Structure 1
Amino acid sequence: MIQNPDLPEVIPVFPLPGALLLPRARLPLHLFEPRYLQMLDDCLKTPGRLIGMIQPQPQPRSDGTDGAEAADTPSALQRIGCVGRVTQFSETEDGRYMITLAGLSRFRLIEEVEGFTPYRRAKVSWEGFGRDLGPTETDPEFDRASFLNLLSQFFAAEELQTDWESLKEADDELLINSLSMLLGFDPEDKQALLEAPSLSTRRETLVTLMEFTLRGGSNDEMLQ
C-alpha cells in the first residue's frame, strides 16, 4: 500500500455531489468532460496516480433550501475528502473513460491552488487520518444479525435488491463501507459517513440514517 511520505501536498480534486470514496474501498467513475479527461491524463503521468474525491458544500437554492451544487459549478468545497489511486481504466469508442479509484486516505482541504489546469487542485493535509493507511478496521460491538435485519427492512422499503449471502460473509469494514458508498443518501449524509472517525461511528451513523428513512423523516427534520 502507498505510504504516508508518498502522499503529496497538492492533489487534483474531483468535486462530485453524493459520490463517496472511503479508504480501502473502490469507486467506479465515468469521465467524459474534457477537463476531467485532462485530469486523468495528467494523473496517469504521476507515480501515485492520485485523484481526490470531494463534495461541493451545500449552496442555497432559489426556494431557500440547501443543496449541493452541480459538479461543474465552481462552488466552495467540503473540508474533508478522500484520495484514491487509479487502479483500472478503459476507454470507450467515443473517447470517454471508465476508471476505478482505490481509496487510500482521507484528507483535510487547506486551500485551493490556482494554476493553468482546467480542473481544480488543492493543497491538503493528511494529519489525523493515520488510521486510513493502516490495516482493515474491525467493529467489536457490531451486532451483525440486528444490522442485517434493519438492512432487510430498508431494502424492502426502498425496493432494492442485493446478494444477501455475500453481505452475510463480508467482513465488517467491507460491509459497512460498501453500504455507506452505495446507498442513496443525500450528500450531507454521505459527508457525515465520510467524516466518521471510526468504523463503529460510521456503522452507528448508517444505522441512524436507515432508521430515519424507515420512519419517513425528512432531511430538514434530521438537521434540527
Structure 2
Amino acid sequence: MPMNAQYRGPIEMPEVIPVFPLPGALLLPRGQMPLNIFEPRYLAMIDDALRDGHRLIGMIQPDPAQAGSTDKPALYAVGCVGRITQLAESGDGRYLIELTGVARFRIVEELHVATLYRQCRVTFAPFADDFVARKGEDKVDREALLGALRAFLSANDLKADWDGIEKAPNEALVNALSMMSPYGTAEKQALLEAPDLKTRAEILVAITEIELAKKNTEGEPQLQ
C-alpha cells in the first residue's frame, strides 16, 4: 500500500517509538498488517501516535527465552515499525487499523514512561537497506520458493491465487509469505532478522521443508 509519508533512511526516523509486543506477529517493510485494537493501553497508544503526527507503531515479539512478567514480557531486540495507513472505529470501543511496514529497528533501551504502553529508544541504522524498495530481489530463488509453497499447500489441502502469486514481485512475495506463514515465534523472528531478502527466502523454504518432513514422518505407520 502506498504511503503519503516518504521515509528515505534511518535519519528520518524517530529515536523513540511506542512498541506493541505481540507473539507470532511478523511485520516486514512494505507489508500490511491488520490489527484489532481493544486493550485500553493500546487504544491510548494509537491515539497518541495519531496526535503526535508520526503515526508509527513498533511491532515486536516477546522473547520466551528471557525472564519477564505476564504484563511486561521480555522482548526480542529486533522489531519492525509500521505506519498507520488505515483506521476505522468499530462502534464498540475498538480500532480496526492497518499498519504498513517501514523498516526494522533494534532496541537500544526501554524507557521508564508514564504511559500505559511501552516505549523504547531504538536505532534503524543496522537496517538502512529496508528503506530501498525491492533491494536484492533479483537474487531470490523464486522457483525454490514457489516449489516450497506448492508442497505446503498440497500437504495441507489448501488453495492459492496463483495468478496473483505469479504477478507478485519477489519482495512482495517473500515478505507476504513470511508474514502469513503459520510458524512459531522463533521461526518468525528468524525471518524478521534475515540480513537480506535472499536469505529470508532461503530461511522460509528451509522452515517449510522441515515442517513438511515432520508432517510426513508423523503420517507414517509406526514400527512395533
**TM-score, normalised with respect to structure 1:** 0.88
Q: Which amino acid aligns with 1:46?
A: D
**RMSD of equivalent CA atoms:** 1.9
SS in 2 for 1:39: helix
* TM superposition shift of 1:150: 2.0
Say which structure is richer in helix: 2
2:174 is the alignment partner of 1:168: no
- The answer for the alignment partner of 2:62 in structure 1 is 56
Deviation string 1:134-176 (CA, Å, 9 cap, x unpaired) is 2322433434334322211111223333211111110000000
Partner SS state of residue 205, structure 2: helix
User: What's the counterpart of residue 191 of structure 1?
Assistant: 189
Which letter does structure 2 place at the counterpart of 1:95? G
Instruction: Give the CA deviation at 1:59.
Output: 4.2
Counterparts of 1:184 and 1:123, CA distance in 2: 30
Where do residues 66-85 of structure 1 align in structure 2 (5 Å cutoff)? 73-85=71-83
* Residue in structure 2 matched with residue 33 of structure 1 by the alignment: 39
Residues 1:158 and 1:2: Cα distance change in structure 2 (over 3 Å): same
SS in 1 for 2:92: coil
Q: How does 1:46-195 map to 2 (within 5 A)?
A: 46-59=52-65, 73-195=71-193
Give the partner amino acid of 2:94.
R
Q: Distance in 2 between matches of 1:2 and 1:143?
A: 28
2:2 corresponds to 1:2: no
Amino acid at match of 1:49: R
Aligned to 2:3: none
Give ranges in structure 2 of 5+ residues lacking alignment: 1-5, 216-224
Query: Take 1:75 and 1:213, find their aligned partners in 2: how far apart are those partners?
Result: 28
Separation of aligned partners in 2, 1:172 and 1:106:
19
CA shift in 2, pair 1:141/1:10, >3 Å: closer
State the Cα distance separating 1:178 from its structure 2 match. Answer: 0.1
1:20 maps to a residue whose letter is L
Identity of aligned residues (%): 47
Q: Name the residue aligned to 1:15.
A: 21
Q: Unmatched 5+ residue regions in structure 1?
A: 61-67, 218-224
